């Protein structure tokens, strides 16, 4: 336990950001950036459900004991990574449908969101990695007041941006 976080040792990753391929990184980097903005320790890895299935199972099974609290998993096309991870961990899994060149990400979305009862994946919009990061922060903030205050400040900043745009429209 450390002074700034109710979770484990300082700097140990609390969120795992994983993706099926390094080609998903241009989308998934938004989740990592959001976590950086909030000062949340995280790790980033390529873990493929199809190309490295045994690594994927090991990652999901060891995630809790390694101290992770949330997994953000992005994949495109036949996007099985988030659901398969959810089937082998008790941690919440946030799924990010990554859009590929065909079908505009609808294939990714349906592959991730249509989970069978009992094995949920909290699915964000197509390409919505930033919101995936925010969901992870919100989960952590239920037990971390400093994160909760940062989230309140974030919401205030969003509202201020809207009001600034309104003032710009009047100018």
Note the residues at the interface with ligand RP5 (CB under 6 A): 19-21, 23-24, 48, 50, 75-77, 98, 100
Q: Which two tokens stand for residue 11?
A: 């700097």
Q: Which two tokens stand for residue 88?
A: 């082998």
21 annotated to bind ligand: yes
- The residue among 15 and 19 lying less far from ligand RP5, judged by its C-beta, is 19
- Taking the complex as a whole, the smallest distance from the CB of residue 112 to ligand RP5 amounts, in Å, to 11
- The residue among 127 and 133 lying less far from ligand RP5, judged by its C-beta, is 127
- Taking the complex as a whole, the smallest distance from the CB of residue 146 to ligand RP5 amounts, in Å, to 33
- Taking the complex as a whole, the smallest distance from the CB of residue 40 to ligand RP5 amounts, in Å, to 23
Q: 26-62: b or e for each residue (b if 16 or more CB lie within 10 Å)? A: ebbbbbbebbeebebbbebebbbbeeeeeebbebbee
- Can you tell me which residue has the tokens 């995280």? 42
- Taking the complex as a whole, the smallest distance from the CB of residue 80 to ligand RP5 amounts, in Å, to 8
24 annotated to bind ligand: yes
* Residue of 96, 105, 91 lying closest to 14 (CA atoms): 91
**Residue 82 in contact with residue 68, Cβ under 8 Å?**
no
51 annotated to bind ligand: yes
Q: Which two tokens stand for residue 111?
A: 């592959």
- Give me the residue whose beta carbon is nearest to ligand RP5: 20
* Binding annotation: 21, 24, 51
* Binding annotation for substrate: 21, 24, 51
């Amino acid at each position: 336990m450390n002074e700034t976080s109710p979770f484990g040792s300082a700097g140990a990753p609390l969120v795992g950001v994983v993706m099926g391929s390094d080609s998903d990184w241009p989308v998934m980097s938004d989740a990592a950036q959001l976590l950086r903005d909030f000062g949340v320790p995280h790790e980033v890895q390529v873990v493929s459900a199809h190309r490295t299935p045994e690594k994927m199972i090991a990652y999901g099974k060891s995630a809790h004991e390694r101290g992770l609290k949330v997994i953000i998993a992005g994949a495109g096309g036949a996007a099985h990574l988030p659901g398969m991870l959810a089937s082998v961990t008790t941690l919440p899994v946030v799924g990010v449908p990554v859009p590929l060149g065909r079908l505009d990400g609808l294939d990714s979305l349906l592959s991730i969101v249509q989970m069978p009862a009992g094995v949920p994946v909290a699915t964000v919009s197509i390409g919505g990695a930033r919101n995936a990061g925010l969901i992870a922060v919100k989960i952590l903030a239920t037990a971390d007041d400093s994160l909760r205050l940062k989230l309140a400040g974030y919401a205030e900043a969003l509202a201020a941006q809207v009001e600034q745009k309104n003032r710009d429209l009047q100018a």
